[in-house]
Amino acid sequence: MAPTDRYEQLLRGAELRVTRPRLAVLHAVHEHPHADTDSILTAVRGDLPEVSHQAVYDSLNTLTSAGLVRRIQPRGTVARYESRVADNHHHVVCRGCGVIADVDCAVGHTPCLTAADDHGFVIDEAEVIYWGLCPACTTASDNPSGKG
Residue ranges of domains in the chain: 3-72, 87-142
Q: Are 44 and 57 in contact (CB under 8 A)?
A: no
CB neighbours (10 Å) of residue 74? 18
pTM attached to this predicted model: 0.83
Predicted local distance difference test score (pLDDT) of residue 39: 97
- CATH architecture of structural domain 3-72: Orthogonal Bundle (1.10)
Least confident of 14-23, 103-112, 131-140: 103-112
CATH, domain range 87-142: 3.30.1490.190
pLDDT at 13 over 60: yes
DSSP E strands, the chain: 35-36, 70-72, 80-82, 90-94, 100-103, 129-132
One-letter amino acid of 55: A
pLDDT digits (tens, 9 = 90+) for 96-113: 999 999 988 766 556 666
Cα 37 to Cα 11, 44, 57, 69, 112: the distances in Å are 20, 10, 8, 13, 29
